Amino acid sequence: GAVVSQHPSRVICKSGTSVKIECRSLDFQATTMFWYRQFPKQSLMLMATSNEGSKATYEQGVEKDKFLINHASLTLSTLTVTSAHPEDSSFYICSASGQPATNEKLFFGSGTQLSVL
Amino acid sequence: GENVEQHPSTLSVQEGDSAVIKCTYSDSASNYFPWYKQELGKGPQLIIDIRSNVGEKKDQRIAVTLNKTAKHFSLHITETQPEDSAVYFCAARWAGRRALTFGSGTRLQVQP
């Protein structure tokens, strides 16, 4: 399958700081990337959808000013958690798809465990 | 919007036995149904998928069946091995949306 690289895998930060997470498609052009959030022992909840070169579409209840998403190229999307607080601690996972390379299949990165102190 | 229900939440089987996980979806316009395996601290890994124009698909020990009339689909793992132990998620994609909606997950434990 296609390879999606995400880093960092783990980050610990102080409350009030900002954290950037990168998601790269290594062997295909990702026309669409998705960002999910997962709490312990729970399912994946979609946060936002981003298409290369356009603004991200956020799910209801997700603060766009808190979770800044940039998809400036066909191989890179970033999620910045601004002014992080302990309640933002979670596992963040990106995924990507791109025609025709992935045939609309969705491949996931390895996830980023964010811990806000 | 799309809603996906998954059962059971936990499943324990003996090595060599079969495991079956079932999901139902709400939107009849859904047309794509993948299954993912997630190990602790890692991202989900696509293991098999099926589109709405197919009733069954098999890949070695893994198979997926789809019943469009009843709006449910199932994952079948035969000859289970300890390395199959993980959390499995079903998902569905509604025809008018590119993102996936996930089920709540099934924690599979294969006892050696």
Q: Do B102 and A110 touch (CB under 8 A)?
A: no
Residues from chain B contacting residue A114 (CB–CB below 8 Å): none
- The vertex-B42 CA angle with A46 and A2, nearest 5°, equals 75
In the prediction, which pLDDT does A11 show?
97
First to last CA, chain A: 36
Whole-angstrom distance, CA of residue B101 vs CA of residue B112: 33
How far is B112 from B109, CA to CA, in rounded Å? 10
Q: Enumerate the residues of chain A whose CB falls inside 8 A of the CB of residue B41.
A: 111, 113
- pLDDT at residue A29, rounded to an integer: 87
Of A32, A44, A108, the CB nearest to B98: A32
Say whether residue A98 is in contact with chain B using an 8 A CB cutoff: no
First-to-last CA distance in chain B?
41
pLDDT at residue number A72: 82
Contact B89 A43 (CB under 8 A): yes
CB B102 within 8 A of CB A106: no
Contact: B42, A111; criterion CB under 8 Å: yes
Q: What is the pLDDT of residues B75-87, one digit of tens each?
A: 999 999 999 999 9
Averaged pLDDT, B34-54: 94
- Give the number of other Cβ atoms within 10 Å of residue A59's Cβ: 15
pLDDT lower than 50: segments of chain A: none
Rounded CA-CA distance A64/A25 in Å is: 23
The answer to whether A108 contacts B45, with C-beta atoms less than 8 Å apart, is yes
pLDDT tens figures, A37-48:
999 999 999 999
Q: In what order do the strands lie in the sheet with B19-25?
A: B4-7, B19-25, B72-77, B62-67, B56-59
At residue B79, the pLDDT reads 98
